[in-house]
Structure 1
Amino acid sequence: MEFTTRVALVFAGQGAQHVGMAKELFDAYSSVRALFELASDVSKKDMRKLLFHSDEATLRETINTQPAVTLASLSALTALRLAGLRAENIAWIAGFSLGEYAALVAADVLTVEEIFTLVNERGRIMHQAGEEFKKNMGDPGMAAVLGLNSGQIRAILNDQDEVFIANYNAPEQVVISGLLRQIDRLEPLLKEAGARRVMKLSVSGPFHTPLLSNASLEFKAVVTGLRFASPKIPLYSNVSGGLMTSGAEIQARMSEQISHPVLWQKIISDATERFSERVAVEIGPGSVLSGLMRANHAEYTMFSSMKLDDMKRLVEHITIQSDS
């Protein structure tokens, strides 16, 4: 079969994980089973047990979540490649926060082994940073604010240094991150200003804020030890919201990403203006990015990739059967 429609690939981030993710792909493809073995070797963890037989609390721990979600996403990418997806069939690639690491594999920037080394170290460093934050300042928190734009939220935060905007997700969906008790204090102010919902997220650290600047510096030493190739497919940055064109730029952005907000709205706006394709595949568990794509630009047709039926629907949509 031959792919006849170019697609965008968007890779899921932390928070989309669930027990049993990628199980159908694992059972169906020997290449996915080999990927699990490689991930287990690099991570020094039984990844099959972690993804299929642990519990939600264990899977939610940052030190486990990051390699687990990355493995699930790369399992889906492996299955897509087996179905016939090639580099020339991909219009552009973006990963949401953690998802940017699996995206580096799709763009041939780093190898699978290198990515698992990075996400394991990233998970360890961010876990430790969260523990230190909790010990020194108090419980961390994040909350999705629906119904206000970023300017309205910045006015309410008013330059205080314990809560920051962490994710610019969509025109009226912004995530704030920082000290939980301050988020609790801000919640009625946000609702008074017109927020429809302030939805607390279960997190172990003040992710994507300057409160993790030390973790970002520590992780910089890890990424410095690797050689990043230039992307073979247009690849977006969470940090700048624009395309990254060189390995050196990607290397710098990956260490900055931990303490910098995710500019997802800017990514989708730029990609929609720059590229004509309106079919995108969410790679990884969950459907968060499908919702965000539609919240930014409703004309996108979205496909999932984690189950065999999802894969079948996608292939039927974007391929034609060859004579052979």
Structure 2
Amino acid sequence: MATHPRCCAGLEHDNSDGWHDIHVAYVKALCSRAVAAPHARKWSLAKICDQASREDGLDDERFEGDLLAAAVYMNHLSLVVELVGKEGILRQRYSPTEFGLFGSPYLNAIATDNEAALELHFEAVEASPNLNLNKVRHSLIRSACHYGSTRMLKRILPVPDWRIGYRWMGKIEDGMAHSNLPSFEFLKARRTDYRLPATKQEERTVESLIGATLRCREDVVRHLLEMGASLTHIRWRVRHNSAPLLQACRGGFTGIVRILLEHGALILGDEIGEAAQHGRWYTVRVLLEHGVDVNSGSPPVVMSAVAWEREDVFCELVK
């Protein structure tokens, strides 16, 4: 516990020696700053204090793991250097895909574009006989696409002269559905380094289109369609529920609905009912502008307007 006062002082400039004061500084520092990380658990101060007051609530590994997440998020690199090399913090429960009380140090580094902190973590993992750096990088691709910049994504992926095998390709394809357009372009360029049959390429492009639609990535959806992504894929004829247009209507992604319709997406009848059932009235209006029958779909649009107590929409539909 000797390092805790010094670590807390580094965060809060409080050199108190008493454990109560240290704990208060710790909770205050983490609550006020680190919990703002996009993937951190949103726990109230009361719950945090309750967790910390339990018998095992303040063990060294937990304290230092949470403190490391805060130090990374706040860019206190001196604390990161001090804490990151400790074997306990690099164990499984502080892995890139699992979060401590205040988020994962790896993902805090990605979300704040803190390349120096991420590099310190990679160096510590590489020096550990019990951890594999390639596995760590592999597990971070999706998070880098979702939270990070293209620069961080380049740092996590293998260097260009490596052979990108199937295991990496699966993560790259998955990441394309989560990424912004610059990251998407970067991932697409890496994907072409690995040759796949044309049918498999089409299937993966379709999966990227579905993922981008579900995450309301308008720029990526438009780019995929301009690349020639199929809107008449055979699977959608069998499982209409997976069609991008229906997904966009269900989510109320009006911009994506317009993009899909501009590129020839077929309206099969359920879209307007699905949009109305979920209260997506702007989307309903877009579909009506494109000639969709107000009586199509299930449940009927008028019934959904009544269920949502939208008198204005009801009057607009029945006039």
Which bin holds the TM-score, normalised by the shorter protein?
under 0.3
User: When you count helix as a share of all residues, which structure comes out higher?
Assistant: 2
Higher RCO (CA 8 Å, separation ≥ 6 residues): 1
Structure having the higher strand fraction is 1
Given the two structures, how large is their TM-score scaled by the length of structure 2? Answer: 0.21
TM-score (norm 1): 0.21
Structure number, greater radius of gyration? 2
